[in-house]
Structure 1
Amino acid sequence: MGQPLPQRTKDYVGEVTNTDIWSSFEVRPDDIFVCTPPKCGTTWTQTLVRMLITKTADPATYNNRVSPWVDCGFRDREEQDALLKAQTHRRCIKTHTPLDGITYSPDATYLVVHRHPVDVHFSLRSHVANMKDDWLDYLFPEDMSEAFAMFLDRPVSSKGTDDLTLASFEHHFRSFWEFRHLPNIHFLHYAELSRDLPGQVARLAKIMGSEIEPELIDDIAQAASFGSMKDNARRASQQPGFKSAFQDYAQFFSSGTSNKWEGKLSAHDMVRYDARLSEMVSLAERAWLEHGQTL
């Protein structure tokens, strides 16, 4: 008998997620799911996938109606489902949900993207500060050490990655990592995208089975550079009728840097982080989770 395949066994409901749509969602064999915790390179990866699908080196080929967040809790999920059903091209679909909360198909493609957890925490802090509504501010008090302690100490709940905590991100990682032997589950890392974007574009094209000329790979990498993505967001925000949940939509792409905690956290804060993460993952898993490297 073969090894068991992933099963959907949980529902996750939080401030921004509701997974009820998965009970009726129909997966197509060529679907591509971008599966990430928040602020781990979700939009970046969706944009790369959309450019490879369309063979167009232009970040504007992505928008959240073409590549929607299927289990977004604050949008009409039936409408999202209908939008996806009407698409005749290859679909690229976003989710922040762990693997045990989504529908798995052995024919679809699952791109799992992570980032150094402390960078995620600080990117989220900037993200929430840029939101027009303040309903997530309670997770990021002004005192950075206090906020970081909440990030480290709060347990996993039925909200999934909506907890925005180390434990919830590790749970997302673990849910996919245990099935990394499956040929259609692929792990990408924010640091790898930053270190060698052309190489990662070529890797994505291979995963997707897309025949792409080397020149177009380089053009797509250039179009997906941080500056290009931010400029595209700025242009989009200047279009008539544009609406956004953010005060400055271009700041959705805050800085694109790593080691965001330097000068903001104490040595004691980082000692506590080291101890907490060491409780959750092995040395080899930590090397990948933080830096995209394997031991």
Structure 2
Amino acid sequence: MSDEQLLSVLREASDLQADLDAHLSAAAFDDLPPQGQFVLGAMAFRGGVATGGLKRVLGITDRQAGEIVDALVGRGYLDLRVDPADRRRIHVTLTGRGRAVALSLWDFLRTARWRLFPFRPGDIVISTPAKSGTTWMQMICALLILRTTELPAPMPQLSPWLDDMVCPRDEVFAALAGQSHRRLIKTHTPLSDIVTPPEVTRIVVGRHPLDTAISLYHQSRNTDSPGTAAAPAGPRAGQDPVAARKWLAQWIEDDSPREGQPSSMQGMMWHFSDAWTRRADADFLLFHYADLSADLPGEMTRLGRYLGVGTSGGDWADLVAAASFERMRAAANRIQPLGPARNNTAFFRRGGSGSGAALLSDGELSGYHARAAALAPADLLAWLHRG
């Protein structure tokens, strides 16, 4: 996160100071020094304490920043450690309690955007854990609503990510306010944290958690674009099955709280579990990634009928074809531009099912199922593990 992005995030939090203080107090963080939550947030979001963005948004001097840090150390939010290689250097790091404050701040900002956002009747909220079919569902909805295979803009513009803190709140709200078509709003936030009026459609896509997790692993390593001088020699880290298996095993065993960590196993299972309880709601639709793969025309028809748009006619076959994983992958540069440091095609890496479980030994897979059973009901797991 750049200093400008950090400045925007902290300014957004400052605008809601009273609500933020109440939120942190309810989470038992009421011994923070003044502006201490912003120092902790800056360290988690950007790294370091005395960044230019932090001092600008708080209007503090280096000395005042130092006093805040001292208070945070004394109250157990930060830790000071002497560099063993150079004892003149002292490293400031977040403790577990300090990181919990930063995560709580992040959750507050995310959910605050949903409370403040002016919805319209007919809005569609697509809520999924990352890499479980978000862009696919955005594409399907865009094709159904706009009724053309030549989409007028890339997906991040057609279907903005409402609570992505990298983009200032006012910019996201303005972009959505400027759209005249039925709006498609992306989020990775569970519906439990989103308040929407009854005339808003909510959609969740489920996927086998191991496939979602391994897709996250590869996406986090998608950092070299084709033709760039920075591309390393030999196989990329994301293509190393030994490293992928080790990462996946650690992901399964990680028992850190789900709050602020939507891509953890706990966070993912909570997202799916919450959606599972809503599957009979009139304003809610639940899809499975494997069903989209096996019967895309049928699933598009189900969605189209619910949204009240046509699911036949001379253009229907073209719309379905444009929503296929293969066509989306071929058009990755146009649909999902990620910036110069990432490979757009690799974003649509595989699209299949089973790659996560295939990496694990029998014992590791049994461990996954035991942990999953402790986090989600059996009927949901039977549904998620299909395909």
Match for residue 346 of structure 2? 251
Note the 1:136-175 alignment, pairs <5 A.
143-154=243-254, 155-161=256-262, 164-175=263-274
In structure 2, the CA distance between the partners of 1:142 and 1:13, relative to structure 1 (3 Å rule), is farther
CA distance in 1 between partners of 2:340 and 2:193 (Å): 26
Deviations 1:179-238 (A, max 9, x none): 22211111001100000000011011011111232543322111111221011114568x
| Residue number in structure 1 paired with 2:291 | 192
The answer as to whether partners of 1:109 and 1:184 remain within 8 angstroms in 2 is yes
Question: Residue type matched to 2:381 in 1?
Answer: R
Provide the secondary structure at the position in 2 that maps to 1:261: helix
Q: Which deviations, in whole Å up to 9, do the C-alpha atoms of 1:100-146 show, x marking residues without a partner?
A: 211222111001111100001111111111036xxxx9xx9964443
Structure 2 residue 368 is matched with structure 1 residue 269: no
Alignment deviations for residues 144-188 of structure 1 (CA, whole Å, 9 cap, x no partner): 443223322323332141xx2221111111222222221111100
The equivalent residue for 2:128 is 36
Structure 2 partner of 1:180: 279
Higher relative contact order (CA 8 A, sep 6+): 1
User: In the TM superposition, what is the alpha-carbon distance from 1:246 to its structure 2 partner?
Assistant: 4.8
- Aligned-pair CA distance for 1:18: 3.2
Q: Aligned partners of 1:74 and 1:141: how far apart in 2?
A: 31
Output one character per residue of 1:66-114: Cα deviation in whole Å (capped at 9) or x when no partner: 2100000211122001111121211001010011211222111001111
- 2:327 corresponds to which letter in structure 1? S
Taking structure 2 as the reference length, the TM-score comes to 0.64
* Pair 1:288–1:263, CA change in 2 (3 A): closer
Identity over aligned residues, as a percent?
32
Provide TM-score, normalisation by structure 1: 0.83
Answering whether residue 381 of structure 2 is matched by residue 289 of structure 1, we say no
Asked if the contact 2:304–2:310 (Cα under 8 Å) also holds between the matched residues in 1, the reply is yes
Structure showing greater Rg = 2
**How far, CA to CA, are the matches of 2:252 and 2:274 in structure 1?**
19
| Matches for 1:103-122 after TM superposition, within 5 Å | 103-122=195-214
Contact 1:36/1:113 (8 A) holds in 2? yes
Q: Mean alpha-carbon deviation: is it higher for 38-47 or for 271-280?
A: 271-280
Question: Contact 2:206 / 2:289 at 8 angstroms: preserved in 1?
Answer: yes
Q: For 1:123, give the aligned amino acid.
A: S
Pair 111,263 (structure 1): closer, same or farther in 2 beyond 3 Å: closer
- Compute the RMSD of aligned alpha carbons: 2.9
Q: How many residues align?
A: 272
CA contact (8 A) 2:273 2:380 kept: no
Q: 5+ residue gaps in structure 1?
A: 1-8
Matched, 1:19 2:118: no
Give the AA of the match of 2:289.
Y
Measured in 2, the distance between the counterparts of 1:175 and 1:215 equals: 39
Structure 2 partner of 1:6: none
Q: Which runs of 5+ in 2 are unaligned?
A: 1-25, 28-102, 225-236
Give the deviation of 1:60 after TM superposition. 6.3
Cα separation, 2, equivalents of 1:79 and 1:235: 22
Q: Secondary structure at the match of 2:355?
A: coil
Quote how far apart the aligned CAs of 1:62 are: 5.0
| 1:59/1:232 contact within 8 Å kept | no
- Contact 1:152 1:167 (C-alpha < 8 Å) held by counterparts: no
Does the 8 Å contact 1:46/1:62 carry over to 2?
A: no
Which residue of the partner structure matches residue 89 of structure 2? none
Partner of 1:217: 316
Which residue does the alignment assign to 2:61? Answer: none
Alpha-carbon distance in 2 for matches of 1:207, 1:110: 11
Q: Match for residue 3 of structure 1?
A: none
CA distance in 2, matches of 1:12, 1:208: 35
- Give the conservation status (yes or no) of the 8 Å contact 2:211–2:357: no
Q: Which letter does structure 1 place at the counterpart of 2:332?
A: A
Counterpart contact for 1:141–1:147, Cα < 8 Å? no
Structure 1 segments (4+ residues) deviating >6 Å: 9-12
